[in-house]
Structure 1
Amino acid sequence: MSLESAVPAGPARPGAIAWAAQQRVLIALAALIAFGALRYDHFLGAYNVLSVLRYNSMFALTSLGMAFVIMTAGIDLSVGTTAACASVVSALLSSYGLVPGLLGGLGVGVAVGAINGFMVTRMRILPFIATLAGMLMASGTGLLLAHNQSVSVSYDTAFIWLGQGDVLGFPVPAWIALAAYVYGSVVLNFTSFGRYVLAVGGGEDASRLMGLPVDRVVFWTYVQSGVFAGLAGVILAAQFGAGQPAEGVGWELFSIAAVVVGGTLLTGGVGSVATTLAGVLLLGLIFNVLNFENGLGWISLSAYWQSVVRGVFLMAVVMAGSGAARRALRTA
């Protein structure tokens, strides 16, 4: 049976479109893993796998928060600079121990997320503009606190364990990201808040007519996005041993790309936590594959060319998903 004949009509259309798009990222991820395993030695070795998971855990967290925001038909451009600012605050507080450093970074995320949510829900500012202002605010605050330089973390406390430690042979940042995605999946699929998020993204006016707490839902999605970005900043400081106020540039683009590649619609109303994680892994493995390719010596790609290749690959996956969506619409 063809895809076109298998797509149901009527109310199931959004789910069918999302399904068609989401399968592309899973297929692409499996194909990329198979390619890397066959072409490169040690690609599936413990060191490479754990390194990829440890580093990409930060992007996984920012992408998870972004996914919920996009499901409401919003956008959050501040996740990268929020993480950078949080890394500075965490580094400054790391000398007091793990908990103060962690709470400091989370506090930054809550503050930025609450400001973003307030501007969107109470001041009725477009999410793009509101979070752009939040991005600039977080960036400037981080640079001011750090005096425009990296801030070393304290190695006399357990703070660096959050970024460099392992539990049961698995990186602590990866455990944190996994716990966050379990939380996100439960919230989206089994709670009223998750249903409200999708309903608001599917139609804000209709949601208001049904009596749903639209403003409250939107506000908390931005706060949640800020919390995950702040947590990513804590891991950034702990993993690299310094708070980095200039870091985070382009993180919002990576997060948006991962969410979209994972099948979440920018128009809102449809989304998945699991395939968002698949999108993060796909984009992270593209960089990993390019590094292995450079190591073979057959080609030598600079960071600029690696960015071009990643963009082309991303465009191919998105176009494949868009093609499936168009076919589903024509046959519905």
Structure 2
Amino acid sequence: MLSAIFKPLAPKSSGDLARVGVVVALFALIVFGALRYDNFLSPFNILTFLRYNSMFALIALGMAFVIMTGGIDLSVGAVAALASVVSALLSPYHWIAGLGGGIVAGLAVGLLNGLVITKMRIQPFIATLAAMLAAYGTALLLADNQSVSVSYDTGFTMIGQDDFLGFPIPAWIAVAAYVVGWVFLERRAFGRHVLAIGDGEVTAALMGLKVERTLLAVYGGSGLLAGLAGVILAAQFGAGQPTEGVGWELFAIASVVVGGTLLTGGSGSVGATLAGALLLGMVFNVLNFENGLGWISLSAYWQSVIRGLFLLVVVVLQARLTGRGEKAPARG
């Protein structure tokens, strides 16, 4: 199934070329790290990398579907923070309560975004920006402006800290989500509807597609996945963190764009999005190893700077690739 997820990466256009490029870049970076650092391919580093970056892979998947429709979701980081607080507060009752509470919180914000965008005709940028502010405020109110410890007695922390068959549970969750995402995009009419809306919402409506229902599902799914990432955050670090998630939306957008999905919508790949998320995570993993060698010394604050520059470079390159074959209109 995983090989099928990456099958659409064969280069047929400039967008496909970018998708192949991100896979090549990821492979090259892994080879570089393996040759340069002694413990880069150690089980500890691999499992830690997968466990931590599963959260970003989940929000990137939701963001991918949103961007394919030509929209944007700026609330995913705040939704993850809110979900982490909700799941931490509910974790003493049962691990299922913690898991379900975080997911429901994320789904509720996602559906609210979808309703505001479809029913009130508010631009996604504005709607999700408002949701971001509201989610952060709600998280701070629920947590009383401090971290909320989770219960260690109900098994809730196993969601973020335990392994299954030698593989981190968060990574299993991310893999399952991407398989489902691939099925919906490549094997269901839902995926064709998403891409059609990205090509032109008005045209899609004239074709008889249920645009509002599809957009509601897309934004609801984005919120759900962000909520799931928040659950993993709380379970992995032992606390709901209302101030976490800042910049996560940038990471998600960068992962999607690096994977070759156009910000204007109408095209995209689940496999390339996963490769983009892993590539960005790998960049910071390599930088951490470089810090360990003493050749460079970059604080955690530099990660935001690097993410921003990385996203800018990729967007510029994407614009060049997609515009390469276009001709300027003739002038009379």
Same fold (TM over 0.5): yes
Residues 40-62 of structure 1 deviation map (CA, whole Å, 9 limit, x = unaligned): 11111111111111000001111
Range that drifts further, 145-154 or 300-309? 300-309
CA contact (8 A) 2:88 2:240 kept: yes
SS at match of 1:276: helix
| Unaligned segments of structure 1, at least 5 residues | 1-13
Residues 234-272 of structure 1 deviation map (CA, whole Å, 9 limit, x = unaligned): 000000000000001011111011001111111000000
Amino acid at match of 2:287: L
CA contact (8 A) 1:87 1:244 kept: yes
Amino acid at match of 2:214: V
Range that drifts further, 314-323 or 278-287? 314-323
The Cα of 1:312 is off from its aligned counterpart by: 4.0
Indicate which of 251, 272, 276 corresponds to 1:275. Answer: 272
1:74 is matched with: 71
* Separation (CA, whole Å) in 2 of partners of 1:313 and 1:177: 24
Equivalences for 1:216-295 in 2 at 5 Å?
A: 216-295=213-292
1:120 equivalenced with 2:117 (yes/no): yes
* Separation (CA, whole Å) in 1 of partners of 2:239 and 2:145: 13
Equivalences for 1:7-22 in 2 at 5 Å?
A: 16-22=13-19
1:153 equivalenced with 2:150 (yes/no): yes
* Separation (CA, whole Å) in 2 of partners of 1:75 and 1:309: 21
TM-score by length of 2: 0.92
2:8 is matched with: none
Q: CA RMSD in A?
A: 1.7
**Cα distance, 1:213–1:306 mapped onto 2, change above 3 Å:** closer
TM-score by length of 1: 0.92
Amino acid at match of 2:247: G
1:141 equivalenced with 2:138 (yes/no): yes
The alignment covers a number of residue pairs equal to: 318
* Separation (CA, whole Å) in 2 of partners of 1:274 and 1:79: 20
Residues 296-329 of structure 1 deviation map (CA, whole Å, 9 limit, x = unaligned): 0122222344444454444444444443333344
* Separation (CA, whole Å) in 2 of partners of 1:256 and 1:305: 18
| Unaligned segments of structure 2, at least 5 residues | 1-10, 328-332
1:86 is matched with: 83
Indicate which of 11, 32, 41 corresponds to 1:44. Answer: 41
* Separation (CA, whole Å) in 2 of partners of 1:83 and 1:306: 19
SS at match of 1:96: coil
**Cα distance, 1:227–1:309 mapped onto 2, change above 3 Å:** closer
SS at match of 1:125: coil
Structure 1 stretches (4+) deviating beyond 6 angstroms? none
* Separation (CA, whole Å) in 1 of partners of 2:306 and 2:177: 30
Indicate which of 191, 201, 206 corresponds to 2:198. Answer: 201
Amino acid at match of 2:72: I
The Cα of 1:20 is off from its aligned counterpart by: 1.9
Residues 109-158 of structure 1 deviation map (CA, whole Å, 9 limit, x = unaligned): 11101110000000000000001111111111111110000000000011
